[in-house]
Amino acid sequence: MTRPPSPGSVLTDNARRQAARPAVSVLIPFLRDDPTELLGLLDEEAGALDGAVEIVLLDDGTGDAELTARLQAVVHAMSLPVRLISLTVNEGRSQGRNRLAASARGGSLLFLDSDMRPDHRRFLWTWADLVAREDPAVAFGGFSLLQAPTDARFSVHRAMATRSDCVPYGERARTPEKYVYTSNLLVRRDVFEAEAFDPAFTGWGWEDVEWAMRVSRRFTVVHVDNPATHMGLDTVEALAGKYEQSAGNFARVVARHPDIVGTYPSFKAARLLKRVPALSRVRPWIKQAAVAGWMPTGARAFSLRLYRAALYAEAV
């Protein structure tokens, strides 16, 4: 069934959705990506789930009629209950996730990025089982780079992510609010209704971390071992562009949660760099060092982290 629910959006539901009574809703936003491969992997688990898990997809304004038609066909063929929301205008990361939650019917919401791939074939079952046994307020499953591309152009991002993001669940649990990303995040519905994502965050970065800081003051955040691979590694140039977008969001987080952010290495480095004379003139040279392909990967990764801190220095 495909119908326009309101101006600017179209809903596509498959036949399994109407009768399903899911406990978990998997929420997948995307923009100019094709989530078909991820949908296929998730659908392999349909037989073991018996309607306990549904999927809600949000195309946040891609504007590609061919992709929409292809995805509509995929949705109708899936064994899992699925809804596809196609927007004509981009709403942004925070507002898009809020819209996904509004269309979900499960008591728990699993935010899963479209460039993630489950690291095992009981991924959804593990989440559904955790909800049935413990019904946690917030749980993060972690992510890895096990299936990610190994191209040399992604070596810096791989090195940085391996060091700071692909963290074992026991280590993540020591600072639970810090290691929360919407790439693989389970949130109980009442928690999300109490603390939604802030649509004031625009561009890239920090909206999920800021949300976790708010939530951690009121609810318990747990970490579990149910990872998925982040397939969307970036080049240094692309990462630098995202950091440039994120400086304003970082400033917003600092203003709201100085007690938490003040413990972060990125904040401490930014405070130190703020003292550097004429930092704005030095910053492009730091970026050039990160981009330089002849430099060792470790040195380029250090330069890129330094560049990020130099951008954030304006916010602290």
Tens-digit pLDDT profile for residues 249-273: 898 888 889 988 888 888 899 999 9
pLDDT for 89 equals: 87
Both 238 and 225 in a single domain? no
Question: What pLDDT digit, counting tens, does each position of 47-68 carry?
Answer: 999 899 999 999 988 888 999 9
Task: Single out the residue of 156, 302, 165, 159 nearest to residue 237, CA to CA.
Answer: 156
DSSP state of 224: -
Both 194 and 304 in a single domain? no
Host domain of residue 142? 2-233
pLDDT for 119 equals: 96
Both 7 and 74 in a single domain? yes
Both 248 and 213 in a single domain? no
Q: How far apart are CA 178 and CA 64, in angstroms?
A: 36
Of 207, 233, 259, which residue is a domain's last?
233
Of 183, 203, 233, which residue is a domain's last?
233
Q: How far apart are CA 93 and CA 98, in angstroms?
A: 9
Interhelix angle 236-256/297-312, rounded to 10 degrees, is 40
What CATH number has the domain bearing residue 78? 3.90.550.10
pLDDT for 154 equals: 95
pTM of the predicted protein model: 0.88
Instruction: Indicate the SS3 state at residue 266.
Output: helix
Under-70 pLDDT residues of the chain: 1-7
Both 80 and 176 in a single domain? yes
pLDDT for 262 equals: 87
pLDDT for 96 equals: 83
Residue type present at position 288: Q
Number of domains making up the chain: 2
Residue written as token pair 């972690």:
142
Of 233, 250, 273, which residue is a domain's last?
233
**Beta-carbon contacts of residue 29 (< 8 Å; ≥ 6 apart):** 57, 58, 60, 93, 96, 97, 100, 113, 114
Both 69 and 196 in a single domain? yes
Both 172 and 296 in a single domain? no
